[in-house]
Amino acid sequence: MATTSLSRRLLLPVLILVVTVLSAVVVFGEGSKSSTSSSPVLIASTVNSANAQTILSNAIPPAAYQTGRANSGAANSSLKVFSNGKLVAYGNKNITYVAPPSSLNTIGEALYMQNCASCHGNNADGVPANGTPGAYPNLRGLGPATIDFWIETGRMPAADPTSVQAPSRIARLNSNQAVAIAAWINSLAPATPYIPIVHNVSGADHAAGFDLFALNCAACHTITGGGDMLAKGTYAPTLRNVAPTQIVEAIRTGPGNMPRFTGNLTDAQVRDIVAYVSNNIEHPANPGGIGLGGLGPVGEGFVALAVGMGVLLLIAFWIGDRA
Amino acid sequence: MSAEQRTPVSFSVAKADDPHMQPKARNPKRTEALLALVMLLGIASLIGFIVAYFMNAESWIMGAFMGAGALLLGFGITAWGKYLMPQGPFVEERHRMSGTPDQRARFKAAVVQRGGGILGRRKVLAGLAAAGMGIFGLLALVPVIRSFGPLPENTLGVTQWKRGTKLVDSTGRGIHVNDVAVGGVVTVFPEGMVNTDNGQAVDQTILIRLTTQDFTTRPGRESWGPAGYVAYSKLCTHLGCPVGLYEQQLQLLVCPCHQSMFNVANGAEPTFGPAPRPLPQLALYVDDEGYLRAQAPYDQPVGPGYWTRS
């Protein structure tokens, strides 16, 4: 009789605890990355330029899409390789920037027409919406690194061209296809930065990388690299699961709302940041056991309060229950 | 009849075979053995903590041993009380708290008659004690008279930025006009002030390149943004957080603390959030060697408001 009343009294707190733990798992559980992996390559063919106009009339103000700049990254470096009078590679022992081979131009054009042209136009110079130029950005003169970054992180082709910010997804086009498209666009309007190759990441200075990360990256991406929300529906994405090449491309080209870091970060410093991000950010030490997504004191406090207080509540119930 | 429905008895008069004296456990021997096992495990965990400590084990291992030890011992002791002790309920009569009438009369006599006589015997000491207590009350006035310190004068209104001060990054490197691409951003300090004790927190300034042309953020600032470089104080005018989140397409600086947003193309006018004023802009020029320098100090105090500036 006493045992039934005990279990009846414990029912509510146990229920509360289970619900809080489950909600914590849902909120903080890792691996909830969106992955819609259907219809590769041909995705953009369903959006022809006619209905792109319709989509755009409902879109947010075009200003959010405009980059308003051409990447004119200066190729000042110790190593420069020319072929037929064209700069095909530059860099140093830390990072080499290589132009996509012009032999890929033809296949790159075909892939571009299939996947990109419906929004960015047949000449890669952007599509005006309702007479406003630049609703979809002009891709000329941005440099192969920019094109490669957007395609290889799965942000382009965009699943929802009207969204405020294209999310990182499983890439629709593989690495070779991305380089081919970059090659064709670069043949229209040659520009730097080229596609970077990072050398000897294990030899970089992690501590210096942390200092540079804290100074230049952590303001938006947070000190744990978990990412955070920003203004007007934009956000800084998480830095976990980003390849070294894409880290350099992001730093050197400033995709989307991210600022661009050029002359004030040397290639050696960028390599230090790559080492810190691909080691310490992607594999955090988590001395407490569970990282809880590295979301900061609010999330951690929630778990401590809900789970910790829930358990203490159950123990208090048990101790206080009259035998 | 369950324990809750029984009439409480006095523990001192309860017989050994009274139901009040029986433990709750149905099989006390087995419960005792079980609790002994639990406590042994607890002791083993605590010994494990000592061993782990001397083996320089990781802190979570030591914490796990310590926590398990405390938890198991606590469970054992609580369960002992709940299941093996007489389950009662018992009452205990409170004994009489006041003294007898005779005791009270003698105490009163001692205080009223002898006490007054004892104090009256030392008139000087009594007077000094009273004076001391009075002066003690005056101590409250001392901070008003002396300890509020000198007035801050205008130290809150000035920074280390002077006419001609060179802009340097956190490593002390100057910023050449060709260094930063359009859409780039650097946190800059006055040259010579990096890693010193002189107010770097209030000096920190965010340098943004908006375009390659000279940029005017508002009328009267035509010469302030050479080659598209604009510089704003990095201290939020709300509570002084570093406004370091620059969004190059939206042309917004976002404060991480309370989401104030400043339009960098428009003199950092706040467009959202609690910030009351625009971020002060630092007027720049390019020197003969191509490095960026400040035309003049900030034309207004940086950071949040204070008592003479709201």
Contacts of A103 (CB under 8 A, 6+ apart): A183
Q: What is chain A's alpha carbon radius of gyration, rounded to the nearest angstrom?
A: 25
Tell me whether residues B3 and A2 touch, CB distance under 8 A: yes
DSSP secondary structure of B160-189: S--TTPBEE-TTS-B-BTTTS-TTBEEEEE
Residue A270 pLDDT > 50, yes or no?
yes
Q: Across B61-122, where does the E strand assignment appear?
A: 90-91
pLDDT tens sequence across A78-134: 677 888 778 888 888 888 888 999 899 999 999 999 998 888 888 888 776 555 544
Nearest to A219 among B3, B250, B256 (CB): B256
Sign of CA dihedral B80, B86, B90, B92: negative
Q: Report how far residue A65's alpha carbon sits from residue B70's, in angstroms, rounded to the nearest whole number.
A: 59
The answer to whether the Cβ–Cβ distance between A69 and B182 falls below 8 Å is yes
Per-residue confidence at A233, pLDDT binned at 50, 70, 90? Answer: confident
Return the number of other C-beta atoms located less than 10 Å from residue B217's C-beta. 21
pLDDT category at B76 given cuts 50, 70, 90 is very high
Q: Does B228 touch chain A (CB under 8 A)?
A: no
Quote the mean pLDDT of chain A: 77
Nearest chain A Cα distance for residue B131, angstroms: 54
Full-model pTM: 0.70
Rounded Cα gap, residues B306 and B193, in angstroms:
25
Q: Is B105 helix (H, G, I), strand (E, B) or coil?
A: helix
Q: Give the distance, in angstroms, between the CA of residue A295 and the centroid of all CA atoms in the same chain.
A: 17
CB contact under 8 A, A257 and B83: no
Of A272, A270, A251, nearest to A202 by C-alpha is A272
Q: CB-based contacts of B214: which residues, under 8 Å, 6+ apart? A: B222, B223, B225, B226, B227, B228
What count of Cα atoms within 13 Å lies in the side-chain half-sphere of residue A13? 17
Q: Work out the number of other CB atoms within 10 angstroms of the CB of residue A177.
A: 23
Beta strands in B53-204 (DSSP E): 90-91, 167-168, 185-190
The pLDDT of residue A123 is: 86
Query: Sign of torsion, CA A96 A101 A102 A108?
Result: negative
Reading the block at residue B44, the tokens are 């083993």
Rounded to 5 degrees, what are φ and ψ at B306? -140, -170
Q: From residue A277, how far is each of A30, B171, B310 by CA, in Å?
A: 18, 21, 42
The label of the residue with tokens 């691909």 reads A278
DSSP string, A22-57: HHHHHHH-S--------S-SGGGGGS-HHHHHHHHH
Distance, in Å, from the CA atom of B270 to the CA atom of B261, rounded to the nearest integer, reads 6
pLDDT of B310 reads 64
Q: Which of A76, A230, A265 to mutate to test the interface with B (most CBs of B within 10 A)?
A: A230
First to last CA, chain A: 11
Mean pLDDT, residues B81-101: 85
Mean pLDDT computed over A179-185: 93
Q: Which residues contact A241 (CB under 8 A, 6 or more apart)?
A: A33, A282
Q: What are the pLDDT digits (tens) for B190-216?
A: 988 777 776 678 899 999 998 888 898
Question: What's the average model confidence in pLDDT over B243-267?
Answer: 91
pLDDT at A76: 52
**Going along chain A, which residue ranges are E strands?**
79-83, 86-91, 95-98, 127-129, 132-136, 195-198, 228-229, 235-236
Distance CA B118, CA B130 (A): 16
How far away is chain B from the Cα of A103, in angstroms, using its nearest Cα? Answer: 30
Among the partner residues A263, A289, A323, nearest to B179 by beta-carbon distance: A263
What pLDDT score was predicted for residue A284? 84
Is B11 within 8 Å of chain A by CB? no
Tally C-beta pairs within 8 A across A and B: 103
ipTM of predicted assembly, 2 dp: 0.71
| Confidence band for B285, pLDDT divided at 50, 70 and 90 | very high
CA–CA separation, A124 and B85 (whole Å): 85
Please report, for residues A297, B47, B50, the alpha-carbon distance to residue A245 in angstroms, rounded to integers and kept in the order given. 31, 50, 48
Are the beta carbons of B105 and B78 closer than 8 angstroms? Answer: no
Report the DSSP pairing between strands B205-209 and B185-190: antiparallel
Residue A164's pLDDT is 81
CA separation, residue A192 to residues A64, A111, A141, B48, B284 (Å): 24, 22, 8, 61, 29
Q: Which of A64, A65, A262 is facing B181, going by the closest CB pair?
A: A262
Chain A partners within 8 Å of B187 (Cβ): 215
Determine which of B167, B176, B250, B257 to mutate to test the interface with A (most A C-beta atoms within 10 Å).
Answer: B250
pLDDT above 60 for B66: yes
CA distance A235 to A226: 11
Confidence bin at A278 (pLDDT 50/70/90): very high
Q: What is the pLDDT of residue A275?
A: 94
Query: Percent of chain A at pLDDT above 90?
Result: 26
Cβ–Cβ of A2/B169 closer than 8 Å? no
Question: Which range (A190-199, B73-82, B252-261) has the least confidence?
Answer: A190-199
Residues 6+ apart with CB under 8 A from B43: B69, B73
Which pLDDT tens digit goes with each residue over A4-59?
566 677 777 788 778 877 776 666 554 434 333 333 333 333 333 333 333 333 33
Could you tell me what percent of chain B has a pLDDT over 90?
Answer: 44
**Burial class of residue B181 in the structure, from the number of CB atoms within 10 Å of its CB (0-12 exposed, 13-18 middle, 19+ buried):** buried
If one counts every other C-beta atom within 10 angstroms of the C-beta of residue A83, the result is 11
A294 CA: distance to closest CA in chain B (Å): 17
Chosen for mutation from A142, A264, A269, A314 (greatest number of chain B CBs closer than 10 Å) is A264
User: Are A232 and B208 a contacting pair at CB < 8 A?
Assistant: no
For helices A267-276 and A206-216, angle between their N-to-C axes, nearest 10 degrees? 90
Give mean pLDDT, residues B138-156.
Answer: 79
Residue B168 has pLDDT above 80, yes or no: yes
Q: How many CA atoms lie within 13 A of B268 on its CB side?
A: 29
Instruction: Say whether residue B186 is in contact with chain A using an 8 A CB cutoff.
Output: yes
Shortest distance between the Cα of A261 and any Cα of chain B, in A, equals 5
Q: Please report which helix (H) or strand (E) contains residue B102, including its range.
A: helix B101-109
pLDDT digits (tens, 9 = 90+) for A189-206: 888 888 999 988 888 999
- By Cβ distance, the residue of B60, B244, B272 closest to A219 is B244
Q: Name the minimum distance, in Å, from the CA of A106 to any CA of chain B.
A: 31
Closest residue on chain A to B250 (Cα): A64
If interface means Cβ-Cβ distance under 8 Å, which residues of chain A face chain B? 1-2, 63-69, 71-74, 215, 219-220, 228, 230-232, 234, 236, 254, 256-264, 287-289, 318-319, 321-323
Handedness of CA A315, A320, A322, B4 (dihedral sign): negative
A254:B184 CB<8 A = yes
Residue of B nearest to A256 (CA): B249
The one-letter amino acid at A47 = V
Residue A66 has pLDDT above 50, yes or no: no
| 8 Å CB contact between A21 and A99 | no
Q: What is the pLDDT of residue B150?
A: 75
Which amino acid does the sequence have at A67? Answer: T
